[in-house]
Amino acid sequence: MDVAKIIVDVSTRQTNKPWTYQIPENLQSIVQPGMRVQVPFGNGGRQIQGFVLEVVKGETTTKPLKPITNVLDLEPVLNQELLQLSARIAEHNFNFQINVLQAMLPNVMKAKYQKTLILLNPNLIDDNNINDLFIDRDEIPFELDFIPIELMSKIKHYQAIKALGFKYYLKNKAKIKKVKKYKNKLSSDQYDEIRRNLNKNAKKQARFVTALMENPTPDWQLVSSLQHSYKLTAQDINQAVTNGWISMTEMETYRTPTLSSTIQKTKPLVLNEEQSVAFDAINSALNQQISTTFLLEGVTGSGKTEIYLQAIARTIEAGKTALFLVPEITLTPQMVRRVKGRFGDDVALLHSALSDGERYDEWRRIQRQEVHVVVGVRSAIFAPLEQIGLIIMDEEHESSYKQDDNPRYHARDIASWRANRHQAVLILGSATPSLESRARAQKHVYQLLELKKRALANPLPTAQIIDMSEVIKSGGDEVFSPQLLDQIEERLEKKQQIILMLNRRGYANFMMCRDCGYVPMCPNCDLALTMHKDTYRMECHVCGATQPIPHKCPVCGSTRIRPFGTGTQKVEEQLQDKFPQARIIRMDNDTTRKKGATDRLLEQFGQQKADILIGTQMIAKGLDFPNVTLVGVLNADTTLKIPDYRASERTFQLITQVAGRAGRADKVGNVVIQTFNPQHYAIKLAQNQDYEAFYQQEMSLRKTWHYSPYYYAIQIKLTHPNEQDVAKIAYKIVNWLREQIMPSTMIFGPAPGSIRRVKNRYVYQISLRFKYDDKLEQALNLLVNDAQKIIDKNIQISINRDPINL
């Protein structure tokens, strides 16, 4: 018998393994590894989606096997490389393999299920309300729109006596977009004759036939443009088909993402000396086809992007493909322009601002090997490119490369695995590399390439630190220091542009009663609710619970209940008050929510339709506007207060990056850094953009405290509805682990989670730190897969390697 090993679409520990199914006769020549299939699962005969990992011919089995119901693809959607990668990622990060497989594909290829209620035996039903449901049909969708909730207990009863039953459907959401196209069927002479024989009043038809006569169609043409140009209705077109004037067909088309304006074609620049040295090293690795990882450490504005582009060009010339990762969608519009400007339609885009349909179509262009270059965010690391010659990770230090939620993974690990498999070159680029990458370069695991000067030999901006406690002591403004105001005024006069950043990371926009200190909290989680002005609600960022914004304190009745901390919108208002003539663009979550908004706002700023760009950390990276000469960091230190050992690193990176937006072309740039911690080393070293000094200092602290990159970290999170139980279980697990893993591995905790309760479940954490432990991965996979069975069925365990938030 032919069988298939299949990963099924059920995310539980018990199902997280390949299941064996029989391949029925009619599917034997079709089913291949990497295809999505429909299979029955469990006792209810429920139909679900699965991924074929492996096909085994002529297997002898003792047990009867369930057969595959149907295939959902005619060709594999995942190749061998990605199938193998999915297993490796799942194991390394303690994920369910199904979640990894799904993350590798566009959203629309995820299964969508529908459940229906069916009438099995009408004779057994004596309830009129139930009978009414089935008056004109014997199957209805099992949804509240169709079934009143008060009938549920009766439905359960009839289901028990087999009068009613359920049926499950698996739907394919992946829709291919089609367009109508036409071709002429006749010769010019024939059209001419038709035209002459037309009735004198048939003016429109005459126009139509003339158009066909004068426009020969060697290829299929869009019907819509014909309709548009000659003002024809769908009926006119159908009539023409019936008359035998044209033939018509439906063809597949791609939904291509558009930008707000056209992209200028660009040519390679002549590299400066530092760039040439770096490029030559990369180029020779590309030629030798030996998998090499480069850390390209280049100060802001040093021209890293130009090196990427020229390396991509070489890769394409060699007949290979390139994968270019960028951190966040905000960075993408400018970067996309630069890549598309060089490589045009040879580029596919994968980022979250695309619609589902566009994403699916871009993915299919890659899958069919129609493009050589893919630009995308984190999940684009799964792009189904073959023949990869080059992988680039721009701003490699960015925490958004780590997916901290199911399925967990770090794009950098995957980039390195894929580069290895393809004998490809991997470039990690940044002005402020992660300490982990910089340390690997120190040990020659990565090859370090440095760009110490800006591309146009222009100086780095000079920066000034302002002590905000001094400003406030002398009666100044909390948001704008006099020094910053002076500089803004000066730039406005000179018609130069300004970028202001309000650092909101680790900064909650919550409400507080000024009289009794009451803060509105989430009823399910131990967390303050955050205010959202656009929706006029208080929202919980963890569980999504919402409430109206309170106008009166529910505890003491005071009306002095107000937002705590300053939002971008408020800062914008204050700024506009001070500089009524200034044109301001604000970029934050509220103004960039709409599709294409980021691109549009940045375009406006680039065309100098505004003087000041004010925003959250989303404006800190990658922007390249020549006329910006002043950058203001309004509150440098909010990131310093995050309870995370990376707080200093994040602060240093953020300030250095945003400061680097100033003076990138021919004008000298200035930076004003407002802070309450003017003596902090992260801030002082960011002032001079001195990455190497920061690296040295931070590394010695990390060593002292046993943190990354000296030690790896893994965090185990346990949740349970009962607070005492979770604590007891946590201690049990620690004792068990002690026996399984190497003695050199340090175990911290258990301790209550930093948020004690989430979605009504109590949280406990255990942290592990280790340099090397070859028993750990296996022990943790065992724990995660079997804990519910062995320990307690209510416990939920998640394990996070190198967590972003400790």
Residue positions forming the annotated binding site for Zn(2+): 513, 516, 522, 525, 540, 543, 553, 556
506's CB contacts (< 8 A; 6+ apart) are: 638, 639, 641, 642
Residue 396 is a binding residue for ligand ATP (CB under 6 A): no
668 DSSP assignment: P
The listed partner (Zn ion, ligand ATP, none) that binds 524, CB under 5 to 8 Å by sort, is Zn ion
At 141, list the tokens.
Answer: 């969708």
Among 50, 67, 106, 298, binds ligand ATP (CB under 6 A): 298
Contact 532, 567 (CB under 8 A): no
Toward ligand ATP, which CB reaches closer, 160 or 270? 270
Toward ligand ATP, which CB reaches closer, 110 or 667? 667
The listed partner (Zn ion, ligand ATP, none) that binds 186, CB under 5 to 8 Å by sort, is none
Q: Which residues of 298-325 are buried (b: 16+ CB within 10 A; e: fewer)?
A: bbbbbbbbbbbbbbbebbbeeebbbbbb
The listed partner (Zn ion, ligand ATP, none) that binds 675, CB under 5 to 8 Å by sort, is none
The partner residues of 712 in beta bridges, in order of sequence, read 770
Stretch that binds ligand ATP, among 123-131, 172-180, 299-307, 797-805 (CB under 6 A): 299-307
Toward ligand ATP, which CB reaches closer, 300 or 639? 300
The listed partner (Zn ion, ligand ATP, none) that binds 367, CB under 5 to 8 Å by sort, is none
The listed partner (ligand ATP, Zn ion, none) that binds 455, CB under 5 to 8 Å by sort, is ligand ATP
At 192, list the tokens.
Answer: 């001419």
The listed partner (ligand ATP, Zn ion, none) that binds 622, CB under 5 to 8 Å by sort, is ligand ATP
The listed partner (ligand ATP, Zn ion, none) that binds 124, CB under 5 to 8 Å by sort, is none
Stretch that binds ligand ATP, among 51-59, 176-184, 293-301, 738-746 (CB under 6 A): 293-301
Helix axes 691-704 and 435-442, enclosed angle (nearest 10): 90
Stretch that binds ligand ATP, among 7-15, 296-304, 490-498, 768-776 (CB under 6 A): 296-304
The listed partner (Zn ion, ligand ATP, none) that binds 744, CB under 5 to 8 Å by sort, is none
Q: Give the contact letters, 438-467, x = binds to ligand ATP (CB under 6 A), - = no.
A: -----------------xx-----------
Among 38, 99, 300, 616, binds ligand ATP (CB under 6 A): 300
Phi, psi for 53 (deg, rounded to 5): -90, -35
Toward ligand ATP, which CB reaches closer, 241 or 313? 313
At 85, list the tokens.
Answer: 């990668």
The partner residues of 613 in beta bridges, in order of sequence, read 499, 585
Footprint on residues 674-693 left by ligand ATP (CB under 6 A): none
Q: How far apart are CA 19 and CA 97, in angstroms?
A: 12
Least gap, CB of 324 to ligand ATP (angstroms) = 12
Least gap, CB of 299 to ligand ATP (angstroms) = 7
The listed partner (ligand ATP, Zn ion, none) that binds 461, CB under 5 to 8 Å by sort, is none
Residue 664 is a binding residue for ligand ATP (CB under 6 A): yes
Least gap, CB of 439 to ligand ATP (angstroms) = 20
Toward ligand ATP, which CB reaches closer, 194 or 425? 425
Contact 95, 153 (CB under 8 A): no
3 state DSSP class of 703: helix
Least gap, CB of 755 to Zn ion (angstroms) = 9
Q: Which chain residues interact with Zn ion by CB under 5 A?
A: 513, 515-516, 518, 522, 524-525, 540, 542-543, 545, 553, 555-556, 558
Stretch that binds ligand ATP, among 5-13, 301-309, 632-640, 722-730 (CB under 6 A): 301-309
3 state DSSP class of 334: helix
155's CB contacts (< 8 A; 6+ apart) are: 117, 130, 147, 164
Residue 110 has a CB neighbour count (10 Å cut-off) of 15
Phi, psi for 247 (deg, rounded to 5): -110, 150
Least gap, CB of 613 to ligand ATP (angstroms) = 15
523's CB contacts (< 8 A; 6+ apart) are: 545
Toward ligand ATP, which CB reaches closer, 34 or 622? 622
Least gap, CB of 653 to ligand ATP (angstroms) = 11
Phi, psi for 591 (deg, rounded to 5): -85, -10
Residue numbers belonging to the annotated binding site: 513, 516, 522, 525, 540, 543, 553, 556
Closest by CA position to 459, among listed 304, 663, 685, 626: 663
Contact 674, 638 (CB under 8 A): no
Among 304, 397, 422, 650, binds ligand ATP (CB under 6 A): 304
Least gap, CB of 757 to Zn ion (angstroms) = 9
Stretch that binds ligand ATP, among 163-171, 268-276, 419-427, 548-556 (CB under 6 A): 268-276
* Residue 646 amino acid letter: R
Helix axes 647-659 and 691-704, enclosed angle (nearest 10): 170
Stretch that binds ligand ATP, among 151-159, 295-303, 592-600, 611-619 (CB under 6 A): 295-303
Least gap, CB of 298 to ligand ATP (angstroms) = 5
Among 49, 184, 205, 275, binds ligand ATP (CB under 6 A): 275
Toward Zn ion, which CB reaches closer, 543 or 747? 543
Contact 134, 140 (CB under 8 A): yes
Contact 139, 119 (CB under 8 A): yes
Contact 670, 677 (CB under 8 A): no
126: left (phi over 0), alpha (psi -120 to 50) or beta: alpha
Q: Give the contact letters, 466-505, x = binds to ligand ATP (CB under 6 A), - = no.
A: ----------------------------------------
DSSP letters, 351-419, are -TTS-HHHHHHHHHHHHTT--SEEEESGGGGG---SSEEEEEEETTT-GGGEE-SSSPEEHHHHHHHHH
Q: How far apart are CA 629 and CA 254, in angstroms?
A: 41
Radius of gyration of the chain (CA): 31
Least gap, CB of 492 to ligand ATP (angstroms) = 23
The listed partner (ligand ATP, Zn ion, none) that binds 272, CB under 5 to 8 Å by sort, is ligand ATP
The listed partner (ligand ATP, Zn ion, none) that binds 624, CB under 5 to 8 Å by sort, is ligand ATP
Q: Give how far Cα 140 sits from Cα of 133, 163, 377, 724, Å.
A: 8, 14, 41, 45
Residue 768 is a binding residue for ligand ATP (CB under 6 A): no
At 524, list the tokens.
Answer: 């399910």
Q: How far apart are CA 315 and CA 347, in angstroms?
A: 13
Contact 232, 206 (CB under 8 A): no
Residue 272 is a binding residue for ligand ATP (CB under 6 A): yes
Footprint on residues 617-636 left by ligand ATP (CB under 6 A): 622, 624
* Residue 139 amino acid letter: E
Phi, psi for 71 (deg, rounded to 5): -100, 150
The listed partner (ligand ATP, Zn ion, none) that binds 782, CB under 5 to 8 Å by sort, is none
Contact 259, 336 (CB under 8 A): yes
Least gap, CB of 415 to ligand ATP (angstroms) = 18
At 170, list the tokens.
Answer: 């698996």
Q: Which uninterrupted H or E stretch holds 633?
A: strand 628-633
Q: How far apart are CA 34 and CA 52, in angstroms?
A: 5
Toward ligand ATP, which CB reaches closer, 269 or 472? 269
Least gap, CB of 541 to Zn ion (angstroms) = 8
Size of the site for ligand ATP (CB under 6 A): 20
Among 95, 99, 102, 305, binds ligand ATP (CB under 6 A): 305
Residue 306 is a binding residue for ligand ATP (CB under 6 A): yes
* Residues forming the site for ligand ATP (CB under 6 A): 269-272, 275, 298, 300-306, 431, 455-456, 622, 624, 660, 664
